[in-house]
């Protein structure tokens, strides 16, 4: 057991050291590039190497928050919600395109969403978003680490849950929902059980994603549906953001389902 723990600690130290090295390489490269070269690098990550179809996808989905505001209000009323929705949509699209700048939009989205959730008394969303906010700079370091040290192509095989697995994770979801619902209710949270169900589906979705199960996308889709329900009557823009996320989840489910059938 001690040997196992020592190996795990040694691997963690090695990974952190390599990530730190990747970060230092990035800083050194930026110094060599200079201000104009760094600006070009950022510009390329934001705008370069995108097909016409990807541009249409980005512009159509990215403009959704603006059209939502204009159609329902005929003018921009909820600036904060619109910016939160816009940065969230851009973030998930940039993630799918493999762009490091997704972390910039993810950080902006997380900070704004954190404030909105706190104002509405959705304490479960506050805890979840705090985690995502902290993970943005860490995620960027991991991204740099992968770029510097893991250049070889990584392949995965999408796994499929059996009946036992479904029973296990659905039971975990129900337990998570009820326990955290009680906790949020005890501290006076707004809509405690609506709030805790998104914690449950988010948490189980993350577990399934780590284990490379295609059913993660069902839990992500459920998270988006329950999030729309949570924000019902509170913010049309946040509901719109989760509608776009739901579409992305269904696309992800389709793609991983194909991968699972091929395996």
Question: What's the pLDDT at 147?
Answer: 56
Is the Cα dihedral 49, 206, 138, 132 positive or negative?
positive
Is 35 part of a structural domain of the chain? no
Is 37 part of a structural domain of the chain? no
Is 93 part of a structural domain of the chain? yes
Q: What is the pLDDT of residues 153-194, one digit of tens each?
A: 445 567 788 999 999 999 999 999 999 999 999 988 889 999
Is 251 part of a structural domain of the chain? yes
Q: What is the pLDDT of residues 195-232, one digit of tens each?
A: 899 989 988 987 887 677 888 889 989 999 999 999 99
Distances (CA, A) of 196 to 123, 170, 184, 218: 9, 14, 8, 17
pTM over 0.75: no
Does residue 152 surpass a pLDDT of 50?
Answer: no
Number of domain units in the chain: 1
Helix (H, G, I), strand (E, B) or coil at 213: strand
CA dist., res. 118 & res. 84, Å (int)? 14
Quickly state the pLDDT bin for 66 (edges 50, 70, 90). confident
Is 235 part of a structural domain of the chain? yes
Is 21 part of a structural domain of the chain? no
Computed on alpha carbons and rounded to an integer, the radius of gyration of the chain in Å comes to: 20
Query: Could you tell me which residues come within 8 angstroms of residue 189 by beta carbon, excluding any fewer than 6 positions away?
Result: 121, 122, 123, 124, 195
Helix (H, G, I), strand (E, B) or coil at 159: strand
Q: What is the pLDDT of residues 13-23, one digit of tens each?
A: 666 665 566 66
Burial class (CB in 10 A: 0-12, 13-18, 19+), 193: middle
Is 8 part of a structural domain of the chain? no
Is 16 part of a structural domain of the chain? no
DSSP secondary structure string, 165-199? HHHHHHHHHHHHHHHHHHHHHHTT-SSHHHHHHHH
Question: What's the pLDDT at 143?
Answer: 65
- Residues 177 and 197 sit within 8 Å (Cβ to Cβ): yes
Q: Using alpha carbons, select from 184, 256, 236, 257 the residue that is nearest to residue 68.
A: 236
Give the structural domain span for 59.
Answer: 52-146+159-259
């Amino acid at each position: 057991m001690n040997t196992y723990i020592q190996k795990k600690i040694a691997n963690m130290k090695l990974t952190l050291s390599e990530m730190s090295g990747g970060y230092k390489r990035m800083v050194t490269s930026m110094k060599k590039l200079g201000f104009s070269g760094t600006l070009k690098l950022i510009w390329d990550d934001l705008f370069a190497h995108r097909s016409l179809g990807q541009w249409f996808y980005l512009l159509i989905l990215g403009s959704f928050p603006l059209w939502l505001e204009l159609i329902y209000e005929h003018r921009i009323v909820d600036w904060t919600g619109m910016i939160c929705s816009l940065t969230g949509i851009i973030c998930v699209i940039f993630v799918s395109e493999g762009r490091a700048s997704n972390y910039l939009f993810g950080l902006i989205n997380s900070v704004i969403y954190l404030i909105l959730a706190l104002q509405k008394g959705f304490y479960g969303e506050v805890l979840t978003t705090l985690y995502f906010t902290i993970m943005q700079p860490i995620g960027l370091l991991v991204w740099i680490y992968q770029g510097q040290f893991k250049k070889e192509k990584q392949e995965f095989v999408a796994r499929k849950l059996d009946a036992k697995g479904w029973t296990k994770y659905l039971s975990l979801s129900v337990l998570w929902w009820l326990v955290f619902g009680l906790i949020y209710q005890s501290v006076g949270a707004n809509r405690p059980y609506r709030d805790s169900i998104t914690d449950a589906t988010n948490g189980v979705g993350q577990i399934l994603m780590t284990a490379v199960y295609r059913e993660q996308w069902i839990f992500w889709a459920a998270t988006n549906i329950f999030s729309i329900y949570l924000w019902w009557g509170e913010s049309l823009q946040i509901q719109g953001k989760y509608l776009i996320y739901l579409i992305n989840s269904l696309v992800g489910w389709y793609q991983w389902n194909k991968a699972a059938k091929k395996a």
